[in-house]
């Protein structure tokens, strides 16, 4: 199981792996029943080399680390979670 993730909300399995949608979005998937988290916002990919000295980030979006954090939050969200109000 990937660290920090709750068990699958459908089958209870701890066999959860990361998944990528078109190499632009990050999420998690249960290896036992196939349940998937919601996908992260689009994340940037870094090119190995920028020979012309341009910005090494390809495209717009969040960083991969931010995408992973979003995916963890989406996987761990449950219908019975209480919302926290900031008063």
Stretch (H or E) spanning 26: strand 25-30
The residue ranges of every structural domain in the chain are 16-76
For the segment 61-76, the average pLDDT, to the nearest whole number, is 89
Distance, CA of 69 to CA of 43 (rounded, Å): 12
Token reading at 54: 């341009």
Instruction: Specify the DSSP class assigned to residue 43.
Output: B
Q: What is the DSSP string of 40-57?
A: PPPB-EE-S--TT---SE
Q: Which of 11-15, 64-68, 76-80, 82-86 has the lowest mean pLDDT?
A: 82-86
pTM: 0.72
pLDDT per residue over 6-63, tens digit each? 999 999 999 999 988 877 889 999 999 999 999 998 887 665 445 555 555 555 678 8
The pLDDT of residue 77 is 93
Pick left, alpha or beta for residue 38 (phi over 0 → left; psi -120 to 50 → alpha; otherwise beta). beta
Cα-flanking dihedrals φ and ψ of residue 12, to 5°? 80, 5
Instruction: Specify the DSSP class assigned to residue 59.
Output: S
């Amino acid at each position: 199981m990937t660290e920090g993730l709750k068990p699958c909300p459908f089958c209870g399995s701890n066999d959860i792996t990361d998944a990528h949608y078109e190499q632009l979005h990050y999420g998690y998937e249960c290896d036992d029943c196939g349940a998937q988290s919601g996908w992260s916002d689009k994340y940037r990919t870094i090119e190995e080399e920028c020979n012309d000295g341009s910005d090494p980030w390809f495209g717009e979006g969040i960083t991969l680390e931010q995408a992973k954090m979003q995916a963890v939050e989406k996987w761990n969200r449950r219908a019975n979670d209480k919302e926290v109000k900031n008063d």
